[in-house]
Every structure is written in structure tokens, then in C-alpha cells.
């Protein structure tokens, strides 16, 4: 199913014309209404009329999360505050939060994008959505909420946490779609199993998971445990929230709403565009945002773009699986390590649960990486020889994939801390002198 066939199946030529017109409008808007961008553009010797076609976007300045923090709270708002009807902020625990603002039109466009996502997942107005993303300043809950109402479906605004209540409501209300982080979905699945309830008591059929990176192995784990079809929804608060991109039922990449957000892939070091199809850092420019349009926002997400038409009929560019974040990448003894690599190894081995912690320390000027991972209930044993053999097996796999030595500690099932929101799995405790 396709929510907006006119836009989602538009020819690349038509889309390009639309993007060009909207880019020009956005550049005019920020130049005249946002002192930050006017100063940036003037320092580069650029005026709005210099942007004549899409390729001219490389002339424009980049925007970073630090720029948002430096202009806290409303320095990047391009309209009078009387026009702003919604304010969200990042859930970061350190420093100033990143603030995002919306007009009524911005909220309508956001709901439109989320509606495209849900329809691509096979959801209809007949479905009952349980929204278990956090509500409040975090964009996840309300973004998913208004998209649900926009397609005419029923919404249960659960928010995250209170897992026993989540399960009760899911069963009693007949929820058919679950929206939350993949790590929290796994937690819910474990709690359902612990409760002794039969899967037949639930009507759940679709999982909408996002807000943190997850692998194909994690998808299989979620689908097996919850007996659902699991879909990836992509978004980030600075651009809109959930709904920037979505999988279709073929799941050959994430379709981006590029009539709203223009994507680029750049080298994270040089910031120069990479060749089409090559991996690099994803950058977005708002094309329709009124309240707080951003130019060339660096997401830090590492991925690639595929411009071929999808089997589903959609022509929008498809983003590959997020490989990691340039700022989440660990450099261990000169080797680039992404948590997603470690997760893929764990989930590829049936002896382990998809729960782990990574600890990085520095001893005698040498980086030490240690991983704690839960063995499955039927595997964990007091037999020392069996655990040593299992440890050796996992260590060998990790060393082969990562190219560096990793200390492995196998722990009891359910012994690692669980998260009811975004999972924190990496603890970098290095002190560089």
C-alpha cells in the first residue's frame, strides 16, 4: 500500500524540479530570517541567488548539533515565536539540549511522513497502535501518535516503562502494532514469556522500531519472539522526528521522504560528496520546514544511498542500513570498531541472548575492550570447561570480525541491566593523558 502515490512514486525528474524549487525557498528563508545562517553564508561569500540548482547545495554551510546548542534555545527559529505551536528538545543528559520547533504546517508535514511509513508497513485504519516510545520532549511518542491518528487508526498513548501494564493493555485492548525501540521490544518479549501468557492471547502483527541502530539479526530475534513483522522507521529530532525514512514490505532499504528532506552523503573527514552508492555520513537539508529549517545538517549516521526504483513502485531514494555513527565509532588501538559489528556477531550465535555491555579502559597506554554478554538459559552452565569453550568460540568470532583482541565475560541470563528506552551498551572509560 502507498499513502501518497503522487509524491512517493513521482519521477526522479519531477522530484528534482520540486526539490530545486523548495531548496531555493528554504535558502531565501534562512538567509533573511536566521542571523546565524546569514552570517555563515556571508562569510562564504554566498547569497541566495547563488543557489540555482540542486548541485549548488555544496556551496551552503553545514550545520552541526553544536550549532543548535550554541544557539540555545531559539536562535535558529526563522519565524516569530507566536507562529511556533510545538517545541521539542533532545533527551541528551549532558550539556544544553538541542531544541526543535514546529509550526502547524510543520506538524502536518510530519504527520504526512509518518503516515507514509505506517502505510508502507501494511498498517490501516483498522489497526490499534500501542505507542511505547517516550512522550514529552522526546519526539518519538508524539510523532508516532499524530501519524497514527492521521491514517485513521486507533492509538494507545502508553509511553515507555511500566512494562507489566504495557503487556496487560496490549492483550486487553488488542493492540496490533507496537511502536518502540528495538531494545525495549526485546524486554517486553522477555516479560511476556516470563508471565506465562500464550502468544495466542495477543493480536500483535507489526512492530515499528527505531530511535537506535539495530541489525538484521536483531530483526529476526524480534520477529521470532513476538511473532510479528518488524519494520525500521528512521528519524532524528533535529530533522523532524520519526518518519524521515521507512522500509517498505520488500525491506530492501529505507525510503527517505526526500520531497521534505534533501539527503547527501559526504566523507565525514573531508566533508566532500562521495561517489553515488559509496558509504559516508548522511546529511539533510530541510525543504519545507517553516519554524526551524536547517541547512546541510550532519546526522553523524554512516550509510549509503540507492537511487534505483524499488520493487514496491516508490521512486524515493533508499538508505542502506545504518552502519553506525561517526561519533559512536570506537577507535581501539588504531582500529575502527562499531557496536553494530559486535551485535551482529552475538546475534549470529544461538548460544547468546541479544543483551551485552562493552567497556573500554586504558591500561599502561594500551586500550582494553571487554564485553559482557548473556548466555541463553539452556546454555549457561556451572561446568567450567563448557563455559571456557563457549568463551573461546565467541572470542574467536569477535577477533575475526573486528581485527583486534576482545576480552569476553559470559554472564548469567537476565543479569545485565535492561532499558525501557534507548539502550546504553557502550561505556568508554578511557582517560587520555
Q: Is 345 helix (H, G, I), strand (E, B) or coil?
A: helix
DSSP β-ladder status, 206-209 and 229-236: parallel
Cβ neighbours of 21 (radius 10 Å): 11
pLDDT score, position 327: 65
Give the model confidence (pLDDT) of 351-390 as tens digits: 998 889 999 997 876 788 999 999 999 999 989 999 999 9
pLDDT score, position 393: 94
Q: What is the mean pLDDT of residues 68-83?
A: 96
pLDDT tier at 93, thresholds 50, 70, 90: very low
pLDDT tier at 95, thresholds 50, 70, 90: low
Concatenate the DSSP letters of all residues of 252-277 into one string. SSEEE-TTTEEEEEE-TTT-PBPPTT
Q: Is 285 helix (H, G, I), strand (E, B) or coil?
A: strand
pLDDT score, position 365: 67
Q: What is the mean pLDDT of residues 314-318?
A: 97
pLDDT score, position 432: 55
Q: What is the pTM of this model?
A: 0.82
DSSP β-ladder status, 297-303 and 305-306: unpaired
Residue 340 pLDDT greater than 80, yes or no:
no
Q: What share of the chain is helix, strand, coil (3-state, %, to 5)?
A: 35, 25, 40
412/427 Cα distance (integer angstroms): 20
Residue 29 pLDDT greater than 60, yes or no:
yes
pLDDT tier at 214, thresholds 50, 70, 90: confident
Residue 35 pLDDT greater than 60, yes or no:
yes
pLDDT score, position 405: 85
pLDDT tier at 424, thresholds 50, 70, 90: confident
pLDDT score, position 423: 76
Q: What is the mean pLDDT of residues 29-50?
A: 98
Average pLDDT, the chain: 92
Residue 313 pLDDT greater than 90, yes or no:
yes
23/271 Cα distance (integer angstroms): 20
DSSP 62: P
Give the model confidence (pLDDT) of 117-142 as tens digits: 999 999 999 999 999 998 989 899 99
DSSP 196: T
307/1 Cα distance (integer angstroms): 20
164/178 Cα distance (integer angstroms): 15
Beta-carbon contacts of 17 under 8 Å, excluding residues fewer than 6 positions away, are none
131/181 Cα distance (integer angstroms): 10
Q: What is the mean pLDDT of residues 334-343?
A: 78
The lowest-confidence range among 34-38, 241-245, 398-402 is 398-402
Report the percentage of the chain scoring pLDDT > 70. Answer: 97
pLDDT score, position 323: 79
Q: Which domains does the chain have, with CATH numbers?
A: 1-326 (3.40.50.12780), 330-428 (3.30.300.30)
pLDDT tier at 249, thresholds 50, 70, 90: very high
130/127 Cα distance (integer angstroms): 10
Residue 425 pLDDT greater than 60, yes or no:
yes
Question: To which residue does cell 581501539 refer?
Answer: 332
Amino acid at each position: 500500500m502507498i499513502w501518497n502515490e503522487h509524491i512517493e512514486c513521482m519521477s526522479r525528474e519531477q522530484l528534482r524540479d520540486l526539490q530545486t524549487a523548495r531548496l531555493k525557498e528554504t535558502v531565501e528563508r534562512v538567509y533573511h530570517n536566521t542571523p546565524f545562517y546569514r552570517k555563515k553564508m556571508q562569510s562564504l561569500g554566498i547569497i541566495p541567488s547563488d543557489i540555482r540548482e540542486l548541485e549548488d547545495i555544496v556551496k551552503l554551510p553545514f550545520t552541526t548539533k553544536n550549532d543548535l546548542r550554541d544557539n540555545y534555545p531559539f536562535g535558529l527559529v526563522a519565524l516569530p515565536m507566536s507562529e511556533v505551536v510545538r517545541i521539542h528538545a533532545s533527551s541528551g543528559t549532558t550539556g544544553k539540549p538541542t531544541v526543535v520547533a514546529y509550526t502547524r504546517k510543520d506538524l502536518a508535514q510530519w504527520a504526512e511522513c509518518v503516515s507514509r511509513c505506517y502505510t508502507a508497513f501494511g498498517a490501516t485504519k483498522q489497526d490499534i497502535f500501542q505507542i511505547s516510545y517516550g512522550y514529552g520532549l522526546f519526539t518519538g511518542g508524539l510523532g508516532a501518535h499524530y501519524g497514527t491518528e492521521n491514517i485513521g487508526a486507533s492509538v494507545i498513548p502508553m509511553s515507555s516503562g511500566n512494562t507489566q501494564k504495557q503487556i496487560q493493555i496490549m492483550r486487553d485492548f488488542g493492540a496490533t502494532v507496537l511502536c518502540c525501540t528495538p531494545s525495549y521490544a526485546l524486554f517486553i518479549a522477555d516479560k511476556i514469556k516470563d508471565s506465562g501468557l500464550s502468544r495466542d492471547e495477543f493480536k500483535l502483527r507489526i512492530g515499528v522500531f527505531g530511535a537506535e541502530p539495530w541489525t538484521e539479526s536483531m530483526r529476526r530475534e524480534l520477529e521470532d519472539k513476538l511473532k510479528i513483522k518488524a519494520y525500521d522507521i528512521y528519524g532524528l529530532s533535529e530533522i523532524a522526528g520519526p518518519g524521515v525514512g521507512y522500509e517498505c514490505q520488500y525491506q530492501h532499504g529505507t525510503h527517505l521522504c526526500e520531497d521534505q528532506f534533501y539527503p547527501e552523503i559526504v566523507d565525514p573527514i573531508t566533508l566532500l560528496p562521495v561517489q553515488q552508492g559509496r558509504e559516508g555520513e548522511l546529511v539533510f537539508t530541510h525543504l519545507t520546514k517553516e519554524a526551524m529549517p536547517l541547512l546541510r545538517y550532519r546526522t553523524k549516521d554512516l550509510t549509503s544511498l540507492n537511487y534505483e526504483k524499488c520493487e514496491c513502485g516508490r521512486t524515493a531514494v533508499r538508505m542502506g542500513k545504518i552502519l553506525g555513527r561517526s561519533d559512536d565509532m570506537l577507535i581501539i588501538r588504531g582500529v575502527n570498531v562499531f557496536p553494530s559489528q559486535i551485535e551482529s556477531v552475538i546475534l549470529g550465535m544461538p548460544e547468546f541472548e541479544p543483551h551485552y555491555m562493552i567497556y573500554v579502559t586504558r591500561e599502561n597506554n594500551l586500550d582494553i575492550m571487554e564485553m559482557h554478554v548473556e548466555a541463553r538459559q539452556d546454555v549457561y552452565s556451572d561446568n567450567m570447561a563448557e563455559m571456557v569453550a563457549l568463551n573461546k568460540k565467541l572470542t574467536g568470532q569477535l577477533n575475526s570480525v573486528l581485527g583486534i583482541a576482545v576480552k569476553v565475560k559470559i554472564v548469567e541470563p537476565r543479569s545485565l541491566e535492561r532499558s525501557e528506552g534507548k539502550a546504553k551498551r557502550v561505556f568508554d572509560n578511557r582517560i587520555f593523558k
